[in-house]
């Protein structure tokens, strides 16, 4: 009997497991990555992981191919986990890898990472005595050392300034923790107790994953598991190719610009030529800018993760997220460019460029698939870092957050207000968590008026948060994008409002640069963070009057804005 994949309508290879078995075994592995994700979240110390969920979990096979990633994971972390696998397999032969080993790395230039705060873990899976795969996780540590608290501000000109670079090392050897390596990592972080807790949470998640995979192996056997993994990749690849084939053949072009690199270079272009030929989509980014001095550069791995995310969400959002998608991402870049940087390029704020690359892909494909695209999003994940000495304890503290903003208007509904978008899906930290964990007070938290772009379907609004130190002076640093170049609308939709930082100083408000560092905030002062909104979809004149009136009643929009009269396309 010939087995038919119900999604692709393609015949499965002879000897492949039956569809029911495939789904049962695949669901078992999905439960493993979901359980380890939650375990890491619940055992972590830092708010960035336990509250904001800035971490991911996955399983890879012995060739380093991604098999399954937790649904709650971040798409940008796909690049780091597959990069770590490439580093492990390039350095070690299978017979050199032992049960109980745990590998750790973070460096973008030598160990497959995308920026230093994301620390990658991988533990080998042995079934029936043979290396079969790896359980992996990654977590964003709130500080990894370097020249500024939080390791994320603008103004860093080389990766040596961004924090501790961890090459591929064994943190555990045959089950034994290498304390000297852990001590080295902790000594280079500003809050070592918090870092220790987060590292142990990652180790625990690895070991939990190993136990669960072993249980599946005992039930189904190694041979069947390998067959299922191969079939999962084959199905995803086939579905992705079918989805690409549905896009009209042609050449699609789009370009956008990054505001600045924090060190004087402004309006930095990202240019895409997308060639669709049957079931092939070739993403040519060779027209993009050379790598810049500031820390907004992307490694090629990070650029590929953005492309994979865009392909999946625009063409087949229900597709399984595994190696089959990556195999369909044909990427053409120039080494030494902003999307394929070379050492010692700084990369701490690579997320902003990844988000902008997603916007560029959306803009390019808009003529081909108008019902699937959206207006430009806040695209920045605005970084804000407050640090100082807690007057209650006399100990240092560090609060880091990347805040969400507007999501673009769509073909059938308004964009979401105040959310993380695209290749991040982290949460905005609750006020209660901020005021409980840190000597800070949130004086205001809401949406920025008139920040979502006008349109038949309006863009989502940005966030406004005002934070003040309590009983002490502190330092503020951050990084914003779309603070100068507004998020564009689509098909006649209006642009969203750019973001901004403001120091609410004793002598009066003072605007800050988009990538500030070392800003002294005295007791009684505050910092206002306003994140960008997003672009609208379709002409504002087509928005029904009842919806215009409802927007006005919400308090988030003024009458002139809803008539499409918001004039500011650029700020600063």
Give the per-residue SS3 of 527-567.
EEEECCCECCECCHHHCCHHHHHHHHHHCCCCHHHHCCCCC
* 399: helix, strand or coil: strand
Cα separations in angstroms, 252 against 275, 365, 366, 367: 6, 7, 9, 8
Measured at the alpha carbon of residue 179, what is the angle toward residues 177 and 184, in degrees to the nearest 5?
130
Q: How high is the pLDDT of residue 516?
A: 95
The closest of 162, 323, 356 to 237, measured between CA atoms, is 323
C-beta atoms surrounding 19 within 10 Å: 16
Q: What pLDDT score does 108 carry?
A: 95
The pair of structure tokens assigned to 549 is 């009136």
pLDDT for 93 = 95
Q: Are 570 and 500 in contact (CB under 8 A)?
A: no
Tell the residue number behind the tokens 């300034």, with chain if given: 161
What is the layout of strands, in order, in the sheet containing 474-479? 396-403, 382-389, 474-479, 519-521
Cα 188–chain centre separation: 24
| DSSP classification of residue 28 | H
pLDDT, residue 465, reads: 97
Contacts of 340 (CB under 8 A, 6+ apart): 285, 298, 299, 300, 303, 333, 334
Residues 82 and 62: their CA atoms lie apart, in Å, by 12
- Beta strands 440-447 and 508-511 are unpaired
3-state SS, residue 322 = coil
For the domain made up of 19-236, give the CATH fold: Beta-Lactamase (3.30.450)
pLDDT value, residue 567: 39
pLDDT at position 568, please? 40
pLDDT of residue 75: 79
Query: Average pLDDT by consecutive 10-residue portion of the chain (572 residues)?
Result: 42 72 96 97 96 94 94 78 91 96 97 93 97 97 96 92 97 97 97 98 98 98 97 96 97 97 97 97 98 97 93 93 91 98 96 95 98 92 95 96 95 96 87 96 96 96 97 96 96 96 96 96 98 97 91 81 46 34
pLDDT score at 552: 86
Q: Which two tokens stand for residue 406?
A: 């507007």
- pTM assigned to the model: 0.93
Task: Indicate the pairing of strand 330-332 with strand 280-284.
Answer: parallel
Identify the pLDDT of residue 223: 97
Task: In the chain, list all ranges with CATH 3.30.450.
Answer: 19-236
Tokens linked to 364? 């390019």
């Amino acid at each position: 009997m010939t087995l038919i994949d119900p999604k692709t309508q393609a015949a499965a290879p002879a000897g492949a497991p039956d569809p029911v078995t495939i789904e049962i075994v695949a669901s078992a592995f999905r439960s493993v990555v979901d359980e380890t994700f939650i375990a890491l979240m619940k055992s972590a110390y830092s708010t960035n992981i336990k509250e904001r969920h800035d971490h991911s979990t996955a399983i890879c096979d012995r060739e380093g191919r991604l098999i399954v990633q937790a649904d709650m994971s971040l798409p940008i972390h796909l690049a780091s986990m597959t990069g770590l696998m490439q580093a492990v397999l390039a350095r070690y032969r299978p017979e050199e890898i032992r049960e109980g080993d745990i590998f750790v790395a973070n460096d973008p230039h030598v160990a497959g990472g995308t920026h230093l705060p994301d620390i990658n873990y991988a533990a080998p899976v042995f079934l029936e005595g043979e290396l079969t795969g790896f359980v992996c996780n990654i977590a964003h540590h709130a500080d990894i050392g370097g020249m500024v608290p939080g390791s994320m501000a603008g103004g860093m000109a080389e990766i040596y300034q961004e924090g501790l670079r961890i090459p591929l090392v064994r943190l555990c050897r045959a089950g034994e923790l290498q304390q000297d390596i852990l001590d080295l990592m902790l000594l280079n972080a500003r809050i070592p107790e918090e870092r220790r807790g987060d590292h142990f949470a990652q180790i625990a998640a690895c070991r939990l994953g190993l136990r669960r995979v072993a249980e599946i192996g005992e039930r189904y056997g190694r041979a069947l598991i390998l067959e299922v993994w191969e079939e999962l990749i084959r199905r995803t690849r086939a579905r992705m190719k079918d989805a690409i084939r549905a896009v009209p053949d042609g050449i699609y072009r789009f370009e956008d610009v990054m505001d600045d690199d924090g060190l004087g270079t402004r309006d930095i272009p990202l240019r895409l030529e997308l060639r669709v030929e049957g079931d092939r989509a070739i993403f040519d980014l060779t027209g993009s800018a050379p790598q810049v001095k500031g820390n907004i550069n992307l490694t090629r791995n990070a650029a590929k993760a953005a492309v994979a995310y865009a392909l999946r969400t625009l063409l087949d959002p229900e597709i399984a997220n595994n190696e089959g998608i990556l195999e369909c991402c044909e990427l053409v870049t120039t080494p030494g460019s902003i999307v394929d940087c070379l050492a010692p390029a700084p990369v701490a704020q690579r997320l902003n460029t990844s988000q902008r690359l997603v916007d560029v892909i959306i803009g390019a494909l808009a003529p081909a698939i108008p019902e699937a695209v959206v207006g430009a999003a806040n695209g920045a994940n605005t970084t804000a870092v407050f640090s100082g000495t807690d007057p209650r304890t006399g100990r240092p503290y560090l609060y880091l957050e990347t805040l969400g903003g507007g999501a673009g208007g769509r073909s059938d509904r308004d964009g979401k207000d105040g959310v993380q978008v695209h290749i991040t899906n982290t949460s905005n930290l609750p006020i209660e968590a901020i005021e409980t964990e840190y000597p800070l007070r949130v004086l205001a938290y809401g949406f920025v008026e008139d920040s979502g772009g006008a349109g038949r379907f309006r863009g989502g609004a940005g966030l406004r948060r005002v934070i003040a130190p309590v009983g002490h002076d502190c330092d503020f640093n951050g990084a914003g994008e779309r603070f100068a170049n507004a998020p564009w609308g689509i098909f006649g939709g209006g642009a969203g409002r750019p973001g901004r930082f403001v120091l609410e100083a004793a002598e009066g408000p003072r605007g800050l640069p988009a990538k500030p560092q070392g800003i002294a905030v005295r007791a009684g002062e505050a910092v206002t963070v306003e994140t960008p909104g997003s672009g609208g979809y379709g002409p504002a004149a087509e928005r029904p009057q009842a919806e215009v009136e409802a927007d006005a009643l919400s308090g988030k929009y003024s009458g002139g804005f809803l008539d499409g009269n918001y004039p500011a396309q650029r700020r600063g």
